[in-house]
Amino acid sequence: MALFKENLEALVYLLIISAGLYLLNKLISAIFGKSKKITLKQKMIVNFSLKIGTVLIVVFFVIEGFPVISLIDPTYTAVFTGAISTAIAFASSGIFANFFSGIIMMLIRPFEIDDLVKIEGDKGIIRAINITKLKLETFDNIIIEKSNAQVLSSKIVNYTIKLGKKKTLEDFKKKILAPQDIGFKGIYEDLSSSKNEFEDNLKKAYESFSTKYYPKLYNFTFRMAFPYRGFRVIIDKVAELCASYQEKNIFRIKPQFDIVDYNISIAVKFRLLTFNAQKIFEFQPKFADDVFNIIHTYKIS
């Protein structure tokens, strides 16, 4: 027996329920989207679960709510129900896991083509995305293919900042400094570039764009271990190295570094800011190698 007596009544209720579910989806997605405590993976799972639940509820009301459905031959109803069950079974199997993971990523959009990312330890630029897999070009120019199901279950770090429309200098600085500054403890000003110098570099970068929209900004960070012995000499040489990279205008802004941890060694975090991802590819490995050589040249045994 149908839930409603008339098809029109069932249609009205279906429209109301559909609208309510749509608004609920939007509300929950907005709440989860603004939360910084919830990981990207959890957001993906919640959004996907909401959409699957919405579809199942709508299908249930269509089958059980309209009196006209009861007039259909039970054989066809059984076939229809069986088809839905089969589709759900396939969707939950490994065969279609990549396909549905691709749909989830299309909805969430954790990254785009040409974004600089780290996916479960592999760093590189997204070169291609399709419904089942993506291609990632690593720093050593190796193309890695990852299934969407694998990507969805991995930790993703996106080093790309979409600055959007050009506004004020303060807005520009906020967008640049917000993503990866957690944990910076403020290295001594005589060991690195001063705050004023960094502010000046940001201002120059801001003023260099006359268009209304910025290109993508790549805010790449990495850590290196420094010894305690000879640290002062080593870090001074690293500061000179950063200055030389600025003089050569390799990156948009002078490479920045900061002490982030003390353990058996000193962890120093480096930041490279550029609007050209290819420069990260070409010069980040060389920059890290230069720092490594300084460490081993000036450390005190």
- How is the beta sheet containing 116-119 ordered, strand by strand? 143-147, 133-138, 122-129, 116-119, 156-158
N-terminal to C-terminal alpha carbon distance within the chain: 86
Residues 170 and 290 in one domain: yes
Write the DSSP symbol of residue 165: B
98 in a domain, yes or no? no
Residues 70 and 121 in one domain: no
Residues 169 and 151 in one domain: no
Band (216; pLDDT cuts 50, 70, 90): confident
Residues 195 and 267 in one domain: yes
Residues 178 and 189 in one domain: yes
CATH code where residue 145 lies: 2.30.30.60
Residue 277 CA to residue 284 CA, distance in Å, equals 10
Band (21; pLDDT cuts 50, 70, 90): confident
Residue 263 CA to residue 283 CA, distance in Å, equals 29
pLDDT of the residue at 292: 94
248 in a domain, yes or no? yes
1 in a domain, yes or no? no
pLDDT of the residue at 87: 62
Tens of pLDDT along 254-272?
888 888 888 889 999 898 8
Write the DSSP symbol of residue 209: -
Beta-carbon contacts of 275 under 8 Å, excluding residues fewer than 6 positions away, are: 214, 215, 216, 217, 218, 252
- Is 33 exposed, middle or buried, given 0-12, 13-18 or 19+ CB atoms closer than 10 A? exposed
Query: In the predicted model, what is the mean pLDDT of the chain?
Result: 77
Kindly compute the dihedral angle of the four CA atoms of residues 108, 111, 117, 122, in this order, to the nearest 10 degrees.
Answer: 60
User: What is the reported pTM?
Assistant: 0.58
- Choose the final residue of a domain: 42, 63, 92: 92
Residue 252 CA to residue 245 CA, distance in Å, equals 10
Residues 37 and 139 in one domain: no
C-alpha dihedral sign at 118, 237, 191, 242 = negative
Tens of pLDDT along 113-138?
888 898 888 888 999 888 778 899 88
User: Minimal CA–CA distance to 284: which of 251, 258, 260?
Assistant: 251
Tens of pLDDT along 228-253?
988 989 999 999 999 899 888 888 77
Contacts 24+ apart (CB under 8 A), 120-124: 120/150, 120/154, 120/155, 122/146
213 in a domain, yes or no? yes
Alpha carbon of 232 to those of 155, 235, 291: distances in Å?
35, 5, 14
Average pLDDT over residues 88-107: 63
Three-point CA angle 218, 221, 226, nearest 5°: 155
Residue 133 CA to residue 147 CA, distance in Å, equals 4
Neighbours of 155 (CB within 10 A): 11
Domain assignment of residue 139, given as a range: 110-158
pLDDT of the residue at 166: 67
Residues 182 and 262 in one domain: yes
Residues 144 and 253 in one domain: no
